[in-house]
Amino acid sequence: MSLIIIILVIGLPWVGAGAVLLAGDAHDKLQHILAVAFSLAAGVAALLMLPYTSKAVVISLNAGTVYGNFTFVADGLSVFLSIIATVIGSLAVIFSTNYMKGEAQLGRYYAFVLFFIGAMTGLVLTSNMLLMFFFWEITALCSYALIAFHNDDPKAVRGGIKALLITSVGGVGLLLGALLLFVYTGSLDYNQFLANHSSMPASVLGVLAFGFLIAAAAKSAQFPFQTWLPDAMEAPSPISALIHAATMVNAGVYLLARFYPAFKDVLYWREAVMTVGVISALLAAIMALVATDFKRVLAYSTVSQLGYMVYAIGAGGVFASQFHLFSHSIFKALLFLGAGAVIHSVGTRDMTQMGGVGKKLPFVKWVFIIGALALSGIPILNGFWSKEMILEAGLAGGSKVYYGVMVFVAGLTALYTIRMVWMVFYGEPRSEYHAHPVGLAMKIALAPLALAAVVSWLAVGRFSILLGSSLPYHAIEPFGLREMFHEVIALPTLIPLAVIALGILCWVFRSKLSGLAKAFDWMRWLAEHSFGFEGINSGIVKATEASAEGLRVTQTGMVSWNLLAVLATVIIFFTLFAIGA
């Protein structure tokens, strides 16, 4: 039974992609309906997989002696991530029916979205490293194609290529790891690797661990690879919600969580992971504080929250990080879709030109506020519980300095969130804009997410049992509501709560604090120039182009020179034979 469900979960979106392309751009209503139908079907199939979660191998296709078996395992981590991918995917598709109404080339759009959803579920459901790499690269391709969807806009194309190149660097790290795994254990199945990881020589294990860290950092836009995510905001908002908030960027965190049992004893790996997470969180929060583009603030916020998850994994709290991943997917998708509704209706992404939108779009205002409260970590909403659990895990497993920094970042999170909400929804309109009302499909997509942001934390008990029973190497204990109350509603939680309150108060009294803000103008300048990382990026691009231009002299196009090169190589080889044979 689970065999059929897995095939449905991966296959339905792909079949849907083909169906949408076949329907043709002339029948765009049909394309909308097909896309929604197939993505909803995939979501239902993923939900149906819940009772069948186990660590047993479900599908095993023999692919010859070289590649071993193409295995698919439906354990807790896989099922939970595929549910997120398909359910949030279907909500994003429903949102798209209104957002992309009247756009050209819908077939390309929906086909890539569905292709992406199928590839993401395949990525998490497979236990063969080569297949994982294959799906990883497919998600990178779909991300590029969707960021550059408006391919007559040079900014969008540049953003897409930047995303593709940086995540492909990460993909190299993953491929290297897969190959090393194959060489040293003889099979590409990571469950076998997790079972006896100590049989690998320590140096190889170290290379594997840091290679995967690079792959995960590139995919999840962590330091030092964080520059692609803000530029990827040229994509349509449902895409930002699906790919760059809820699913693809989670692949890096998934990779780290999956391989944590094997790498946790590698020298300095956990410290490196925590450092990457903390730096990303801090830098991104500061940059979010000064950004004026509505979606860029959310992009920086994504980097920052992913930094929290990476930090939690480094500190040993794998369950806390996955729980925060769950909450973050929900509220970040909510925030992006809400932002998409606002941008679609107002017509600009620049927050300095908005203001007072809440009067015109009250529904969006309220759901956005729910998402913002969850992001800031206000009690009762799901963001509060998961963020507190991460901070507890960090306190227990990491250094106090990092804990202090992460608490400070929590305060910064509250500050930039309330700044964003205030600038957009409250106050007086700062420019003449015409806000046309939000369509029904958008409201249908936003409402379930808002509801989930309020109540999803109640599922923590079932969630921990799901993960704990099917991941034998991760040592996750059942963690019910009572344990969560006990852990979170305790003294150490008051410190972050106080800092969050301080952050909110800072905004409310911002006019009185303007003198303090002026003192930090140098920091504002640094943040607006993204702390030099954009400069590094463009420097690398220029250097590559210059060296290519310089090396052009070797490509003369004349046979004589090429033959000379052949002759020189022959001489080198013969010399080597003469000496070494």
560 binds other proteins (CB under 8 A): yes
Q: What is the amino acid identity at position 434? A: H
Angle between helices 106-125 and 76-99 (to 10 degrees): 170
Q: Which stretch binds other proteins (CB under 8 A): 105-113, 297-305, 423-431, 559-567?
A: 559-567
Dist CA 547 CA 550 (whole Å): 5
578 binds other proteins (CB under 8 A): yes
| Residue closer to other proteins, measured from CB, 547 or 575 | 575
| Main-chain phi, psi angles of 337, to 5 degrees | -65, -40
| Main-chain phi, psi angles of 70, to 5 degrees | -85, 100
575 binds other proteins (CB under 8 A): yes
26 binds other proteins (CB under 8 A): no
DSSP per residue, 146-181: HHTSSTT-HHHHHHHHHHHHHHHHHHHHHHHHHHHH
DSSP state of 377: T
- Phi-psi category of residue 478: left, alpha or beta, with phi > 0 → left and psi -120 to 50 → alpha: beta
545 binds other proteins (CB under 8 A): no
In angstroms, give the least distance from the CB of 325 to other proteins.
Answer: 51
| Residue closer to other proteins, measured from CB, 401 or 578 | 578
Dist CA 92 CA 39 (whole Å): 10
Dist CA 557 CA 551 (whole Å): 13
198 binds other proteins (CB under 8 A): no
In angstroms, give the least distance from the CB of 580 to other proteins.
Answer: 12
548 binds other proteins (CB under 8 A): no
551 binds other proteins (CB under 8 A): no
Tell me the two tokens of residue 138.
């497919």
Tell me the two tokens of residue 219.
């995919």
Q: What is the amino acid identity at position 369? A: I
Contact 200, 267 (CB under 8 A): no
525 binds other proteins (CB under 8 A): no
Q: Which stretch binds other proteins (CB under 8 A): 57-65, 111-119, 193-201, 552-560?
A: 552-560
| Residue closer to other proteins, measured from CB, 494 or 564 | 564
Kind of pairing between the strands at 57-62 and 69-73: antiparallel
| Residue closer to other proteins, measured from CB, 498 or 570 | 570
Q: Which stretch binds other proteins (CB under 8 A): 191-199, 421-429, 501-509, 569-577?
A: 569-577
Size of site (CB under 8 A) for other proteins: 17
In angstroms, give the least distance from the CB of 96 to other proteins.
Answer: 45
3-class DSSP assignment, residue 82: helix
> Half-sphere exposure of residue 154, counting CA atoms within 13 Å on the CB side?
0
In angstroms, give the least distance from the CB of 577 to other proteins.
Answer: 6
Q: Is 207 exposed, middle or buried (0-12, 13-18, 19+ CB in 10 A)?
A: middle
| Residue closer to other proteins, measured from CB, 546 or 563 | 563
Q: Which of 183, 198, 559, 580 is in the footprint of other proteins by CB under 8 A?
A: 559
In angstroms, give the least distance from the CB of 574 to other proteins.
Answer: 4
Contact 95, 441 (CB under 8 A): yes
Dist CA 139 CA 308 (whole Å): 23
Tell me the two tokens of residue 548.
């290519």
| Residue closer to other proteins, measured from CB, 501 or 566 | 566
522 binds other proteins (CB under 8 A): no
From residue 167, give the alpha-carbon distance in Å to each of 93, 98, 372: 24, 30, 28
Dist CA 5 CA 8 (whole Å): 5
| Residue closer to other proteins, measured from CB, 102 or 580 | 580
201 binds other proteins (CB under 8 A): no
| Residue closer to other proteins, measured from CB, 509 or 573 | 573
In angstroms, give the least distance from the CB of 570 to other proteins.
Answer: 6
565 binds other proteins (CB under 8 A): no
516 binds other proteins (CB under 8 A): no
401 binds other proteins (CB under 8 A): no
554 binds other proteins (CB under 8 A): no
571 binds other proteins (CB under 8 A): yes
268 binds other proteins (CB under 8 A): no
Q: Which of 208, 432, 577, 580 is in the footprint of other proteins by CB under 8 A?
A: 577
| Main-chain phi, psi angles of 58, to 5 degrees | -95, -50
In angstroms, give the least distance from the CB of 571 to other proteins.
Answer: 5
DSSP per residue, 327-343: HHHHHHHHHHHHHHHHH
Q: Which of 268, 509, 525, 561 is in the footprint of other proteins by CB under 8 A?
A: 561
In angstroms, give the least distance from the CB of 547 to other proteins.
Answer: 18
| Residue closer to other proteins, measured from CB, 66 or 559 | 559
DSSP per residue, 238-268: HHHHIIIIISTTHHHHHHHHHHHHHHTTSTT
557 binds other proteins (CB under 8 A): yes
Q: Which stretch binds other proteins (CB under 8 A): 386-394, 418-426, 474-482, 573-581?
A: 573-581
In angstroms, give the least distance from the CB of 562 to other proteins.
Answer: 10
In angstroms, give the least distance from the CB of 565 to other proteins.
Answer: 11
| Residue closer to other proteins, measured from CB, 428 or 549 | 549
555 binds other proteins (CB under 8 A): yes
From residue 333, give the alpha-carbon distance in Å to each of 41, 274, 567: 20, 25, 60
Contact 466, 458 (CB under 8 A): no
* Nearest one of 259, 258, 182, 20 to 117, comparing CA atoms: 20
| Residue closer to other proteins, measured from CB, 455 or 568 | 568
574 binds other proteins (CB under 8 A): yes
In angstroms, give the least distance from the CB of 546 to other proteins.
Answer: 17
DSSP state of 408: H
Residue 569 burial (CB count, 10 A): 10
In angstroms, give the least distance from the CB of 579 to other proteins.
Answer: 11
Residue 215's contacts (CB-CB under 8 Å, 6 or more residues apart) are: 170, 171, 172, 173, 174, 177, 252, 255
579 binds other proteins (CB under 8 A): no
Which residue ranges make up the site for other proteins (CB under 8 A)? 555-561, 563-564, 567-568, 570-571, 574-575, 577-578
